[in-house]
Amino acid sequence: MQVFKAFTKIVPKKFLGVFMIYTIIFVVLAIFFSRSGLTQMEDAFELSKVKVSVINEDNTVLANGLESYISHIAKPVEIEIDEESIKDALFFRHTEFVIFIPKGFQESFTSSNYQRINTMSVPNSTNSEYAKSLIDRYLNTAKLYIVAYPEISLEEIHEKVLRDISTEVNVSFLDKVANNSMSYLNGYFNFLSYILIAMLISMVGRIMLIFNNKEIKMRNYCAPINIKSYNLQLIFGNLSIALIIWLIFVVLAFVLYKNTFTQTGSFLFIINSFILTLLCLSISFLVATFATKNSIDPIGNCLSLGLSFLGGTFVPQALLSNTLQTIGTFNPIFWYIKVNDAIGNLTSLTQSTLEPIIYGFLVQLAFVVALLSISLVVIKQKRYSQQ
């Protein structure tokens, strides 16, 4: 185990600094990303407010009540009353919906002769339809009270209508309910892909460059050491580094997000990140077969940033174009993120919910096998060409 021992001496001396820097950057960014709400889906609900202009010529209790209600629920915009100005305001989208409350509106409304309110709106606007529904809601409720309780005053009716239609509901997405901590964990493990690939290419690549140095390699081959044993010790050493790094980051995840440790998804995140570690290790092995001392950093940066951006580490996969998503199927990081998001959105453990996750695991493992095979072929070819 002489090679492995040398490995354990070289790694702390050469890479402890690199590891510390990457870890600090990762922890800071992981906390930032996970807390900034940059998750894979838009999970915020906001009531939209339409730009509405009310031209109230009636100035009665009901007309004023309607105006005040609309001003409260929409975004009131004052415009000039002449026809030209109204058309200009609509054309330039200063306002989206104009309501005319004609003189005698209240009288007609309370009597049996129901008078319609005139409106003007931007053509084909969904917002104007929404504004119409707001007016209908107010007037229909008011009409109901007038018919049902003819004895009560219009002021009272206005108050009752307001009370009824001002009831608000909280909107939340089903898959995000009570799942905020898992969403943080999702963000953390997504971002881990970038750090792991960058760190492992930098560390494993450099270690392999040291041991693949032509002089050192030839000197080792002169010694009574089996080439297979030599290579196995190197693989074992690299695997140990990768697993230690993985373990540290997994522990760190549950230190940062303590309450998630017992949840079912957490275990799946751990498995997925373990497969990712093997994946990054195989990418690092491949890079080490052709990289040089000077090219290892540029190659590492290009690969880690490129694969992470295209894989959806920094940008939610839902926001990637169809073309990028198609290209992404050839990117192992894309599959890792996809599986992570599936785990993050997991509400129950059933065969149908687990199926895409297990499929993602298998695809990633297939990438590992393919990349390692390519590395071995390249190494073998190089050895033959040197002889």
Partner 1 sequence: MIVKIENLVKRYGDLIALDHLNIEIKEGEIFGLLGPNGSGKTTAINCLLSLLKFDKGSIEIFGKEMKPSAYSIKHNIGIVMQHVAVFEELTVYENIDYFCGLYITDKKKRRELVEEAIDFVALKDFVKFYPKKLSGGLLRRLNIACGIAHKPKLIILDEPTVAVDPQSRNNILEGIKRLNAEGATIIYTSHYMEEIEQLCSRLAILDKGKVIASGTKEEVKGMISLGEKIVVETFNINEDHLAQICEIPNVIDVELKENTLTIKQRNGASNLVNIINFIAENDISYGKIYSELPTLNDVFLEITGKELRD
Of residues 9 and 258, the one with the C-beta less far from partner 1: 9
Of residues 210 and 365, the one with the C-beta less far from partner 1: 210
- Whole-angstrom distance between the N-terminal and C-terminal Cα of the chain? 26
Q: How far is the CB of 212 from partner 1 (least distance, A)?
A: 12
Q: Using CA atoms, how far apart are residues 293 and 209, in angstroms rounded to an integer? A: 7
Of residues 292 and 351, the one with the C-beta less far from partner 1: 292
Q: Using CA atoms, how far apart are residues 174 and 348, in angstroms rounded to an integer? A: 12
Of residues 6 and 31, the one with the C-beta less far from partner 1: 6
Q: How far is the CB of 211 from partner 1 (least distance, A)?
A: 9
Q: How far is the CB of 274 from partner 1 (least distance, A)?
A: 29
List phi, psi (to 5°) of 85: -65, -40
Q: How far is the CB of 387 from partner 1 (least distance, A)?
A: 5
Binding site for partner 1 (CB under 8 A): 2, 5-6, 9-10, 13-14, 210, 213, 215-216, 218-227, 387
Q: How far is the CB of 218 from partner 1 (least distance, A)?
A: 6
| Contacts with 191 (C-beta within 8 Å, 6 or more apart), sequence order | 26, 29, 30, 33, 34, 313
Tokens, residue 15 = 């890479």
Residue 40: CB atoms within 10 A of its CB come to 22
Q: Using CA atoms, how far apart are residues 174 and 182, in angstroms rounded to an integer? A: 14
Of residues 11 and 134, the one with the C-beta less far from partner 1: 11
Position of tokens 């339409």?
50
Tokens, residue 358 = 């297990």
